[in-house]
Amino acid sequence: MAEYTKPLPEITAESRPFWEGCKRRQLLVQRCRACGARQHYPRGVCAACWSDDLEWLPSPGRGRVYSFTVTHRTQARGFRDELPYVLAWVELDEGVQVLTNLVGCDPEKVRIGMEVRVTFEDVNADVSIPRFTPA
């Protein structure tokens, strides 16, 4: 495995189940047992009603591009080797949005509304990061 030179996620007690899911190739979304709201990123309380009664649900990992930008220039370590790259908000079919990268497609062909699915990149022995690719 090549050395991963981008910043790694900070894995907290609240986000650990999410990252463990990614290791298993499973995208997890939180659902509030009190009000039913779903949310991403992982939090200790429901962003809708502040309940701490949250559960983790597996997501099919399918959705659409909500918005995106293509980065053509950067000097940031790890990122400059992958220019141009796509940073996107993906809206999952469950309704939550995920800030992510689109991979496996020509950045010039990305469109709002494009159907995408999750894929996972093993960046080191402990961390896999979800990305999205055309469905």
Q: Given the complex with Zn ion, which of 8 and 34 has the nearer CB atom?
A: 34
Contacts of 76 (CB under 8 A, 6+ apart): none
List residues near Zn ion by CB under 5 A: 32, 34-35, 37, 46, 48-49, 51
Q: Name which of 48 and 112 has its Cβ closer to Zn ion.
A: 48
Q: How far is the CB of 49 from Zn ion (least distance, A)?
A: 3
SS (H, E, C) 70-131: EECCCCCCCCHHHCCEEEEEEEECCCCEEEEEECCCCHHHCCCCCEEEEEEEECCCCCEEEE
**DSSP run (H or E) holding 16:** helix 16-23
- Work out how close the CB of 98 gets to Zn ion at its nearest, in angstroms, rounded to a whole number: 19
Closest CB to Zn ion among residues 50, 77: 50
Q: Which is nearer to Zn ion, 35 or 112 (CB)?
A: 35
Helix or strand holding residue 18 (H, E):
helix 16-23
Smallest distance from Zn ion to CB 30, Å? 10
**Least distance to Zn ion from the beta carbon of 52, Å?**
9
**Gap between the Cα atoms of 127 and 23, Å rounded:** 6
